[in-house]
């Protein structure tokens, strides 16, 4: 059993419940199973499989199963129990759980010493109708299958597919789809619809410049400052943001990537313990996209912040349960971010936001970071913190 600094366990068996088996939940699970021997870990997630969602756009090249790890395997690997359920929670329930030290799931009472909430933040809600796909569709079917349905197939007349949203997810899907259509010789044009001037607005301006150039080279139509209204049978209805004017374009299918929900965040102190109405819940922690830590560390909605918060909360759970109770503050800063542009290009920053990298060096860094997470999932922790 590896030694965790400042953690001297007490003799009692520890019960930890993790709600949410995404990046933060998995990272926490690996830490708990690595440093604690006398522990019962329960993982609650409605899905049957953990999804390496940061690769989801790659399902135009690889099967979806390559990105899935069944929670049955996770149970064996990390000696935990998985319960398939979706937990409804709010501030009142969190306070109740802190007082009771148990929660009821599928009519079963689950006792715990510590609870960790890592439910992510989900995509902005839309009511897709007709020929519209959202991220949710790609969680259950590979991109290659979704784009070879009867409505999208080899065609002699030119038709269009519209991608809505020029954030990291929309851009990664756009370039993968472009390559996929070329490989399959499907004669469709691509439209990118974005509600701002520049794509990837939260990243340095060099990202937008590189992507705009690539879109021009690939003949992808870019509609800036334009919002999606609806996809009809063979056309898309848009609205220009400034003038309010309606535009209609030929489009057989729309893919909506509208970004993440920002609401329902759980506030935590710098150790990851949830704060409700200025009161700290000492035994209830949070990590990942659903959490906002009051600390110097990064609250970015990224996998790397989610993993670091998940690991930190797990270390602090163990330390809080031990004899010394010395907790560690969250100080992680993201050291880069790479957006892939198909299988042979990417754009990113590394070390400083002024240091823009593109092409193979950027792709290699993305692969390295993702390999590091793959290793964590088999129990090999190569993260420095
Ligand atoms: C296509 C795509 C590409 C991305 N690429 C990158 C990238 O290259 N680099 C990067 O840093 N980030 C990337 N991100 C962002 C990254 O995936 C997220 O920041 C990260 O997944 C957040 O981890 P999390 O554990 O907080 O939430 P998630 O990974 O979303 O996991 C949440 C888990 O909680 C479960 N859950 C939800 N609600 C409940 C409930 N009520 N009860 C029980 N369980 C529940 C869900 O089933 C899920 O398993 C990408 C995201 C997408 C969608």
pLDDT in tens, 48-77: 999 999 999 999 999 999 999 999 999 999
Ligand 1: nearest atom to the Cα of 123: 53
Q: Is 75 exposed, middle or buried (0-12, 13-18, 19+ CB in 10 A)?
A: middle
Q: How far is CA 116 from the centre of its chain?
A: 17
Cβ–Cβ < 8 Å for 33, 41: yes
- pLDDT of 91-143, one tens digit each? 999 999 999 999 999 999 999 999 999 999 876 666 667 789 999 999 999 99
Ligand 1: nearest atom to the Cα of 291: 26
In this predicted structure, which of 136-150, 184-198, 364-378 has the lowest mean pLDDT? 136-150
Ligand 1: nearest atom to the Cα of 334: 11
User: Averaged over 154-168, what is the pLDDT?
Assistant: 82
Is residue 23 lining ligand 1, measured as CB closer than 6 Å? yes
Ligand 1: nearest atom to the Cα of 138: 1
Answer whether residue 343 shows pLDDT above 80.
Answer: yes
Interval between CA 257 and ligand 1 midpoint (Å): 14
Q: What is the structure's pLDDT at 293?
A: 97
Q: How far, in Å, CA of 314 to CA of 272, rounded?
A: 9
Q: What is the structure's pLDDT at 88?
A: 94
Residue by residue, DSSP assigns 119-138 as ----BPP----SSEEEHHHH
Is residue 165 lining ligand 1, measured as CB closer than 6 Å? no
Full-model pTM: 0.95
Which ranges constitute the DSSP H helices of 159-271?
A: 168-183, 205-217
Interval between CA 245 and ligand 1 midpoint (Å): 36
CA distances from 335 to 215, 297, 329, 350 (A): 27, 12, 18, 6
Q: How far, in Å, CA of 151 to CA of 19, rounded?
A: 39
Q: What is the structure's pLDDT at 152?
A: 61
Share of the chain above pLDDT 90, in %: 84
Residue in 293, 381, 303, 376 with CA at minimum distance from that of residue 335:
303
Ligand 1: nearest atom to the Cα of 366: 8
* All structural domains of the chain: 14-122+261-334 (3.50.50.60), 132-256 (3.50.50.60), 335-385 (no CATH)
Ligand 1: nearest atom to the Cα of 89: 41
Give SS3 for 200: coil
Angle value at C-alpha 348, between 343 and 352, nearest 5 degrees: 160
If phi > 0 it is left, if psi is from -120 to 50 it is alpha, else beta; for residue 319 that is alpha
Q: How far, in Å, CA of 105 to CA of 84, rounded?
A: 9
User: Averaged over 22-50, what is the pLDDT?
Assistant: 97
Is residue 47 lining ligand 1, measured as CB closer than 6 Å? yes
Is residue 74 lining ligand 1, measured as CB closer than 6 Å? no
Is residue 162 lining ligand 1, measured as CB closer than 6 Å? no
Q: Give the largest CA-CA distance in the chain.
A: 72
Interval between CA 290 and ligand 1 midpoint (Å): 9
Q: How far, in Å, CA of 43 to CA of 328, rounded?
A: 24
Interval between CA 120 and ligand 1 midpoint (Å): 5
Interval between CA 378 and ligand 1 midpoint (Å): 19
Q: What is the structure's pLDDT at 122?
A: 75
- Secondary structure letter of residue 250 according to DSSP: E
Ligand 1: nearest atom to the Cα of 50: 49
Cβ–Cβ < 8 Å for 207, 346: no
Q: Strand pairing partners for 317?
A: none
Grade residue 11 by pLDDT with cuts at 50, 70 and 90: confident
Is residue 53 lining ligand 1, measured as CB closer than 6 Å? yes
Interval between CA 260 and ligand 1 midpoint (Å): 10
Q: Is 70 exposed, middle or buried (0-12, 13-18, 19+ CB in 10 A)?
A: middle
Interval between CA 232 and ligand 1 midpoint (Å): 31
* H, E, C per residue of 1-14: CCCCCCCCCCCCCE
Cβ–Cβ < 8 Å for 146, 56: no
Radius of gyration of the chain (CA): 22
Mean residue pLDDT across the chain: 93
Is residue 307 lining ligand 1, measured as CB closer than 6 Å? no
Cβ–Cβ < 8 Å for 204, 191: no
Q: How far, in Å, CA of 29 to CA of 41, rounded?
A: 8
Residue in 195, 180, 240, 190 with CA at minimum distance from that of residue 214:
190
Is residue 167 lining ligand 1, measured as CB closer than 6 Å? no
Other C-beta atoms lying within 10 Å of the C-beta of residue 39: 20
Interval between CA 53 and ligand 1 midpoint (Å): 7
Cβ–Cβ < 8 Å for 225, 198: no
| Residues near 212 by beta carbon (within 8 Å), at least 6 away in sequence | 199, 222
Q: How far, in Å, CA of 286 to CA of 271, rounded?
A: 9
Cβ–Cβ < 8 Å for 364, 357: no
């Amino acid at each position: 059993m590896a030694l965790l600094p400042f953690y001297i366990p007490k003799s009692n068996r520890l019960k930890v419940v993790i709600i949410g088996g995404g990046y933060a939940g998995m990272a926490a699970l690996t830490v708990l199973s690595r440093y604690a021997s006398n522990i019962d870990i329960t993982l609650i997630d409605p899905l049957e499989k953990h999804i390496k969602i940061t690769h989801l756009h790659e399902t135009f090249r690889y099967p979806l199963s390559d990105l899935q790890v069944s929670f049955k395997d996770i149970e064996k690997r990390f000696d935990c129990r998985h319960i398939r359920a979706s937990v409804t929670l709010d501030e009142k329930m969190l306070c109740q759980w802190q007082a009771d030290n148990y929660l009821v799931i599928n009519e079963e009472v689950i006792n715990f010493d510590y609870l960790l909430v890592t439910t992510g933040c989900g995509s902005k809600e839309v009511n897709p109708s007709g020929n519209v796909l959202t991220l949710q569709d790609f969680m259950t079917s590979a991109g290659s299958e979704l784009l070879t349905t009867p409505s999208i197939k080899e065609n002699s007349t030119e038709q269009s597919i519209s991608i809505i949203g020029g954030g990291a997810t929309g851009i990664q899907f756009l370039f993968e789809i472009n390559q996929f259509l070329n490989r399959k010789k499907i004669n469709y044009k691509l439209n990118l619809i974005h509600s701002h001037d520049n794509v990837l607005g939260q990243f340095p301006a060099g990202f937008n410049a590189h992507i705009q150039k690539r879109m021009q080279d690939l003949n992808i139509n870019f509609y800036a400052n334009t919002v999606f209204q609806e996809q009809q049978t063979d056309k898309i209805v848009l609205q220009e943001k400034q003038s309010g004017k309606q535009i209609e374009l030929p489009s057989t299918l729309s893919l909506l990537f509208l970004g993440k929900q920002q609401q329902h965040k759980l506030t935590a102190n710098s150790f990851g313990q949830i704060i409700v109405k200025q009161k700290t819940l000492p035994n209830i922690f949070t990590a990942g996209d659903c959490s906002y830590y009051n600390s110097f560390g990064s609250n970015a909605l990224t996998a790397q912040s989610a993993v670091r918060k998940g690991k930190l909360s797990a270390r602090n759970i163990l330390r809080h349960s031990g004899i010394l109770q010395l907790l560690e503050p969250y100080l992680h800063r993201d050291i880069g971010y790479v957006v892939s542009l198909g299988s042979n290009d990417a754009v990113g920053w590394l070390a400083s936001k002024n240091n823009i990298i593109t092409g193979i060096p950027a792709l290699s860094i993305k692969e390295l970071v993702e390999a590091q997470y793959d290793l964590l999932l088999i129990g090999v922790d190569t993260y420095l913190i």
